[in-house]
Amino acid sequence: METRYSPNLTGYRQLGTKELRTTFLVESLFAPGELAMIYSDADRAIIGSAVPLASPIALTADADLRAAYFCERRELGVLNIGGPGAVEVDGQRYQLAKFDALYVGRGSRSISFSSQDPSGPACFYLLSYPAHAAYPTTLIPQADAKEVHLGTMADANRRTIHQYIHTGGVKSCQLVMGYTQLHEGSVWNTMPPHTHARRSEIYVYFDLAGARVMHFMGTPEETRHLVISDRQAVISPSWSIHCACGTGSYAFCWGMGGENQEFADMDSFPVERLA
């Protein structure tokens, strides 16, 4: 398991493009037949992926976690962005089509991932945070997600937010998770931008095809950007804005963890303040 450390604002200002990418961008996800795990010191998030082929992939606890099993002290969110597959949790099998999600509660001992067809494998995106209590493992089909429609075509940011793990939906300790789909002809997400002073956020961009996403980060007065390809993730610490513009159609899974679970708890900044 790779470990990432987030710089403070002083250290951030000294980073060049290469250092920004190695610090905040996760390029090593979704390798066929492999499990990938990245530990971030931002709210102790773990970002991961599993792409099972002919054989299932078991989720094990890395030695650095000092845990008998992965969810001994953690909860886990899973979103399938590939072909049909299944997640087995303590002997219970959950079928996930593309855009279906699964919440796995603290105390779940045995977790494994499999694909229905290895030639079109499932691609499971994983996001985990520490948990102080156990909530039931719950399958969340895309049809059961709460939909929120935002933006306008005139502003090129018409989008639908699908909320899976959130207050009023599937219960968790601190994990909040869902995905956003940009509508045809729209390229901007989350504009004007905002920060989450009380929690960190992780994005993973997918369904880009050959497009690229320009992900903006930093303080409103000193923004930087990362050029992101398909199925890459970016770590957004609590002090950083996060918004993006794509060269074509895309979607992204967002997940948050920290002090609270209020989706609307954010500090927005007017476009005029950006520099």
pLDDT at 103: 98
pLDDT at 198: 74
- Give residue-wise pLDDT tens across range 92-142: 999 999 999 999 999 999 999 999 999 999 999 999 999 999 999 999 999
Q: Does residue 184 contact residue 249 with C-beta atoms inside 8 Å?
A: yes
Q: Does residue 239 contact residue 9 with C-beta atoms inside 8 Å?
A: yes
pLDDT at 82: 98
- Segments making up each domain of the chain, as ranges: 2-273
User: Is 51 buried (19+), middle (13-18) or exposed (0-12) by CB count in 10 A?
Assistant: buried
What are 4's strand-pairing partners? 40
- Give residue-wise pLDDT tens across range 248-272: 989 999 999 977 677 676 677 777 7
Terminal CA-to-CA distance of the chain, rounded, Å?
36
What residues contact residue 229 under an 8 Å CB cut-off, 6+ apart?
27, 205, 208, 212
Q: Which residues of the chain have pLDDT under 50?
A: none
Of the CA atoms within 13 Å of residue 10, those in its CB half-sphere come to 0
pLDDT at 16: 93
SS3 110: coil
SS3 19: helix
CATH no., domain 2-273: 2.60.120.10
pLDDT at 83: 98
pLDDT at 190: 82
* CA-CA-CA-CA dihedral for 5, 9, 15, 17, to nearest 10: 90
Amino acid at 198: R
